[in-house]
Chains A and B, each alone.
Chain A
Amino acid sequence: MKHNRRSFFRNPIAITALLILVAIILFCFIYPLISSFEYWQITGDRLQPPSPEHPLGTDKLGRDFMTRIAFGGRITLSVAFFSGLIAAVVGTAIGILCGYVGGSTDSVVMRLIDALSSVPSLLLAIVLDYMLGMGRGYFLYGIAIAGIPPFARLVRSATLQISGSAYIESSRALGARPLCVIREHVVRNVLPLAAIQVTTSMADALTICTILGYIGVGINPPTPEWGALFDSGKELLRTSSHLAIIPAAAIILCIICLYLLGNGIRDSLSSSGGDV
């Protein structure tokens, strides 16, 4: 599977999605630095509508909402990014191991992976967060662990396909060391597939992270997180609906962009562009 960079950059939808994501990320990381408020800073005015001083108004405790959204975005997007990345790396490693080594290692590990994937990821994240200590950010690992199975399966089947193919056999016959074979052929062929799955996993991680924030598991207040911000904003739906709508809209936007990005990557990989 060839990686066709040029066709990716010609894909307007994927490029737009990427740009939007980058813009959001930049906003979340830069705005709190330039804002005149801190995310925890309580100013006198509660529930103020948007004004020049507070571009998105203030929340029910009088904190500047724009700063809180930006900081919350930092948290949510970081969790999504890192748990997606960890799931990708660990899952890919497991997949390559199982696919290449095979045998009983493969059976045992894949059974574990199947057991892992049969538990809904939300529940798994909650349980792991509970066990590892709540509020200290360990739920990131919980989300990452829940995200491992799709990678493991995908990479394993791709590895199996490649391992069985003729050019690997001939490499081995020529005396190449297993690790070299893996690095040269397997990784190069499998990485593009994993790349598509990464965006999906990050989107799922984003969803779980915000749900955890919404139901009150995960980050402790006053640290903002988009799901938690939504939760506190929901009570005020009638009066200051923007406090709930903006976090929700931000979440939806990021998820859509991640999916469009993934589609773009996938399209740039299929060399002939689709089925007959």
Chain B
Amino acid sequence: MIGYFCKRILLIIPSVMAVILLIFILMSFLAGTNTARMVQYADDPQESAPGLSFLEQYGKYCFRVFVHQDFGLNDISRLPLSDELLHRTGVTLRITGISILATYLLGVPLGVLAACRRGRWQDTLITSLTTFFSAIPSFCLALALILFFAVRLRWVHVLPETPADDLIPLSTLSVIGAANVAKVTRAGMAEVLEKPFVLSLTSLGLSRRSVILRHGLKNALIPAFSVFTTVFAQLLCGSIVVERFFSIPGLGLTMIRAISSRATATLLGCATVVALIMSICSVITDLLFVLVNPSLRRTLSFGSSMRFRGRR
């Protein structure tokens, strides 16, 4: 199993490179891109020197990024992109990282509760809330939270100034993420509760609480964790809106500005970072999945349990 994960981690680099290639291709088709020199570096020769071919640029970019962590220069400011990207990625990751934790801590219990009280008022309430919150745009929710907590109650500032003010951007992301996780968990848990083993465990005298919390939950976590990457991707998208709303200098904002101003190098840098984050996310999802799903553990580890296949 360790071998499997080492392989997965090594595969991150090729998959990120594939994304970079895709972005290169996309960019080269767009008007306004200087295809001869898409990314500028600090040690570039004179302006009049002939440009590199597409593949040479691609190769140089990959090499610089993976070996030297050099993303080139910002098209507009001519400052090294690496520092800027590092700083902004940190900001975005801090917000989305805390949000994903809150998402699961909020979403899973709600989903479990809704499934256990299926058909009753708790289920109806939770289902309506999750449908509502997963449907509305995040800026609407952010507005509502701001109006209530910042304007009416005056507990926090409208724009984040102190760490406590981060609560509203975090809440915006977490609530929407939690709504999605709750939906998946509820569906998973409802399915689990219909399974025959729940009846047989109950018939053996196990308490309902033990059956739900120990057995039901572990089974329901399988679908809940399988959507980890999807939820994280949604949080990243949500952070675009949230960063703009609260003027937080993060990756999302940078990406949007780069898109509108056709800043090639910045866009490439952002895309690379996002691809890297998503690949890591995918490995984390696998890890979580293996944690709760034992049959995967066996498929991945070619160990002693294999001899029990086909026992009478």
Chain A contact residues, CB within 8 Å of chain B: 118-120, 122-123, 126-127, 130-131, 134, 203-204, 207, 210-211, 214-217, 227, 230, 234, 237-238, 241, 244-245, 248, 251-252, 255-256, 259
- Whether B135 pairs with A248 at a CB distance below 8 angstroms is no
Helix, strand, loop or mixed for chain B's interface? helix
Given known A211-B241, A237-B146, A241-B147, contact A217–B137 (CB-CB < 8 A)? no
Task: Return the chain A residue nearest B150 by Cβ.
Answer: A237
Given known A234-B245, A245-B143, contact A255–B259 (CB-CB < 8 A)? no
B138 in contact (CB, < 8 A): yes
| B30, B138, B259: residue with the most chain A Cβ atoms closer than 10 Å | B259
A248 to chain B, nearest CB (A): 5
B256 surroundings in chain A (CB, below 8 A) = 215-217
Known: A237-B158, A248-B140. 5 other contacts (CB 8 A): A120-B236, A204-B135, A215-B244, A227-B139, A234-B143
6 A-B residue pairs with CB within 8 Å: A118-B230, A123-B237, A210-B137, A215-B256, A238-B158, A252-B140
A215 surroundings in chain B (CB, below 8 A) = 240-241, 244, 256
Task: Return the chain B residue nearest A233 by Cβ.
Answer: B143
A127 surroundings in chain B (CB, below 8 A) = 26
| B137, B244, B260: residue with the most chain A Cβ atoms closer than 10 Å | B137
Cα distance A131–B151 in the bound complex, in angstroms: 40
Cα distance A37–B157 in the bound complex, in angstroms: 37
Given known A211-B241, A245-B143, A251-B140, contact A217–B135 (CB-CB < 8 A)? no
- Whether B139 pairs with A211 at a CB distance below 8 angstroms is yes
B12 in contact (CB, < 8 A): no
B219 to chain A, nearest CB (A): 20
B241 surroundings in chain A (CB, below 8 A) = 211, 214-215
B233 in contact (CB, < 8 A): yes
- Whether A217 pairs with B30 at a CB distance below 8 angstroms is no
- Whether A131 pairs with B139 at a CB distance below 8 angstroms is no
Cα distance A259–B26 in the bound complex, in angstroms: 36
Task: Return the chain B residue nearest A248 by Cβ.
Answer: B140
Given known A131-B30, A234-B245, A259-B135, contact A217–B147 (CB-CB < 8 A)? no
Contact of A207 among B136, B143, B144 (CB under 8 A): B136
B132 in contact (CB, < 8 A): yes
Question: How would residues 26 to 52 of chain B score, 1 for a CB under 8 Å from any chain A CB and 0 otherwise?
Answer: 100110000000000000000000000
A130 surroundings in chain B (CB, below 8 A) = 30, 259
In B240-254, the 8 Å CB interface with A consists of: 240-241, 244-245
A217 surroundings in chain B (CB, below 8 A) = 256, 259-260
B139 surroundings in chain A (CB, below 8 A) = 210-211, 214, 227, 230, 234, 248
- Whether A120 pairs with B237 at a CB distance below 8 angstroms is yes
B82 in contact (CB, < 8 A): no
B131 in contact (CB, < 8 A): yes
| A122, A227, A251: residue with the most chain B Cβ atoms closer than 10 Å | A122
B285 in contact (CB, < 8 A): no
A113 to chain B, nearest CB (A): 15
B152 to chain A, nearest CB (A): 11
Cα distance A214–B244 in the bound complex, in angstroms: 9
B234 in contact (CB, < 8 A): yes
B290 to chain A, nearest CB (A): 20
Task: Return the chain A residue nearest B260 by Cβ.
Answer: A216
Q: Kindly list the 4 A-B residue pairs having the minimum CB-CB distance in the complex, ordered from nearest.
A: A122-B237, A248-B140, A120-B237, A120-B233
A32 to chain B, nearest CB (A): 24
A247 to chain B, nearest CB (A): 9
A252 surroundings in chain B (CB, below 8 A) = 136, 140
B259 surroundings in chain A (CB, below 8 A) = 126, 130, 217
- Whether A122 pairs with B158 at a CB distance below 8 angstroms is no
A230 surroundings in chain B (CB, below 8 A) = 139-140, 143
